[in-house]
């Protein structure tokens, strides 16, 4: 107990010394300018107790009413700036993107577990630019059209699963999106819900979720602790670090090696891995190696699946809560597509209401209410306020999506807000907010939106989504709760997913049969 008390005292002393040094340095650099407004902190710990463990976006939105569009906090020496308005986000992340494109470094996640290969965590600089340039070759607006057949194929397979076992919709949506990503990245065909690579990705995401919980590891506050050996008392975090390093390595290497084996055997499908390896072997590109190809494929593998799944689950929730929206969408589908075939990408331009539903799913319950945090890489002044170098910049998308200046009646699910002719101006496309601002805007957004569109269109064309029924056949309104993690998503819930008609069921069976032999 004495040694533990001594260690705790040493930690507190280190925090005091670090904060004192930082305070003196900042005082010289501020030149009398004030920090942005925010809640007053306590001695030593600052605002550490003001920041909730979960649903931080709700508190930040509440602070906006008191302090304004930007809110500044200092928690144990970590400086945070919440951007609560679209205007502030554009001013800093778009117009000053050269200095607002950094990423905060979490010692456990980035250094000890080695997740820094991920494009979303990679520091801003030449290495990030090189990876982004190659990524864009496969994921920019024009390039993603080549994946439409794969996305349609998986959407139709999902319809078949809904016919067989609609009670497993939650798991089957996750599998369908994961299967699309696996095919695009590695040419790997997912056979069932228990695919080893889908499970590897989920295990990895669960590990990352545990790591990024605020205050989870003291090493993120005092980086020098990372040098403590695993055998030292109190260094249990090193075991977690070792587990994470293995997952990080497996996620890059295992599906990649499987894809290489298929290429060697001549059984490989087209994929990003196959294309890059072909370019490498043919010397079409000379500035990358196999480890680079591993990272690019793994970025696609892990980056988009979780967010697209969460959006589609929110779509199911929205249809449960808003049956009139579902009816209107199906009227549009019946008018444009008819009942003799399923929707395609070619129908998209003729289905404005389906597109509007997709957009409203992005806004109503955003999968990333706080976006991906940035850091400012040098001291800055904004509207007369001093923003110190290394301040963590947090984009509060939730606050923007609840801003009545941007969206009328923001709590309601209203797809028509994105359509002309309703007596109001068309409201802001939420994808311009949700996928981020400036140079670090999500590069996979076009691919994700395509997957979401075709899945929503196909589901609504063939199925009716409603509340579950009790033993007497009466609908029971399902109360759905949301969970905050790496993405904001509904926890598992029940619903009824049934074919709209016998003809719709037969159409699904025919489509599944055709695609299984294609």
Q: Which residues are annotated as a binding site?
A: 442
3-state secondary structure 106-175: CHHHHHHCCCCCCCCCCCCCHHHHHHHHHHHHHHCCCHHHHHHHHHHHHHHHHHHHHHHCHHHHHHHHHH
Phi-psi region at 418: left, alpha or beta (left = phi > 0; alpha = psi -120 to 50) = alpha
Strand partners, 463: 499
Task: Check: CB of residue 362 under 8 Å from CB of residue 427.
Answer: no
**Sign of the torsion formed by the C-alpha atoms of 249, 255, 259 and 264:** positive
Token look-up 């494009």 returns 119
Alpha carbon distance 303, 293 (integer Å): 15
Helix/strand/coil percent split, the chain, to 5: 55, 10, 35
Q: Is 111 exposed, middle or buried (0-12, 13-18, 19+ CB in 10 A)?
A: middle
Known binding residues for heme are 442
Q: Do β-strands 78-83 and 392-395 pair in parallel, antiparallel, or remain unpaired?
A: parallel
Q: Do β-strands 392-395 and 374-375 pair in parallel, antiparallel, or remain unpaired?
A: antiparallel
């Amino acid at each position: 107990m004495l040694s533990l008390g001594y260690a705790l005292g040493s930690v507190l002393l280190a925090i005091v010394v670090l904060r004192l040094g930082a305070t003196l340095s900042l005082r010289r650099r501020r030149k009398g300018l004030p920090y942005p407004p925010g809640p007053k902190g306590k001695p030593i710990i600052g605002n550490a107790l003001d920041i909730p463990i979960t649903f931080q976006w709700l508190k930040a939105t509440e602070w906006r009413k008191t302090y304004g569009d930007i809110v500044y906090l200092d928690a144990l020496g970590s400086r945070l700036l919440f951007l609560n308005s679209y205007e502030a986000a554009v001013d800093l992340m778009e117009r000053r993107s050269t200095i607002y494109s950094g990423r905060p470094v979490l010692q456990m996640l980035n250094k000890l577990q080695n997740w820094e290969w991920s494009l979303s965590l990679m520091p801003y600089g030449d290495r990030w630019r090189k990876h982004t340039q190659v990524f864009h070759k496969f994921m920019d607006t024009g390039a993603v059209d080549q994946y439409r057949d794969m996305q349609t194929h998986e959407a139709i397979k999902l319809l078949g699963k809904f016919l067989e076992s609609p009670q497993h919709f939650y798991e089957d949506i996750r599998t369908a999106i994961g299967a699309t990503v696996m095919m695009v990245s590695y040419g790997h065909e997912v056979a069932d819900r228990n695919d080893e690579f889908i499970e590897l990705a989920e295990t990895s995401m669960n590990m990352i979720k545990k790591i990024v919980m605020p205050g989870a590891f003291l090493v993120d506050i005092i980086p020098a602790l990372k040098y403590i050996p695993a055998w030292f008392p109190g260094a249990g975090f090193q075991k977690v670090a070792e587990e994470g390093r293995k997952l990080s390595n497996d996620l890059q290497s295992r599906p990649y090696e499987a894809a290489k084996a298929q290429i060697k055997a001549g059984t490989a499908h087209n994929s990003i891995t196959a294309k890059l390896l072909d370019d490498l072997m043919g010397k079409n590109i000379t500035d990358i190696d196999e480890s680079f190809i591993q990272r690019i494929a793994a970025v696609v593998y892990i980056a988009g699946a979780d967010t697209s799944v969460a959006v589609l689950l929110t779509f199911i929730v929205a249809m449960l809560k808003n049956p009139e929206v579902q009816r209107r969408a199906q009227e549009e589908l019946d008018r444009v597509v008819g009942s003799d075939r399923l929707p395609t990408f070619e129908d998209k331009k003729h289905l404005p209401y389906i597109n509007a539903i997709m957009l409203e799913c992005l806004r109503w319950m955003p999968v990333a209410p706080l976006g991906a945090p940035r850091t400012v890489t040098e001291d800055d002044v904004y509207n007369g306020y001093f923003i110190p170098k290394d301040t963590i910049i947090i984009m509060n998308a939730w606050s923007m999506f609840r801003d009545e200046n941007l969206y009328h009646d923001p709590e309601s699910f209203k797809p028509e807000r994105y359509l002309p002719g309703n007596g109001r101006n068309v409201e802001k496309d939420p994808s311009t907010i949700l996928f981020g601002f400036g140079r670090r805007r999500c590069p996979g957004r076009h691919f994700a939106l395509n997957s979401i569109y075709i899945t929503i269109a196909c589901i609504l064309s063939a199925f009716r989504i409603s509340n579950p029924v009790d033993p007497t056949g009466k609908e029971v309104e399902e109360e759905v709760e949301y969970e905050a993690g790496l993405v904001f998503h509904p926890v598992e819930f029940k619903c009824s997913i049934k074919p709209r008609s016998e003809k719709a069921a037969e159409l699904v069976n025919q489509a599944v049969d055709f695609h299984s032999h294609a």
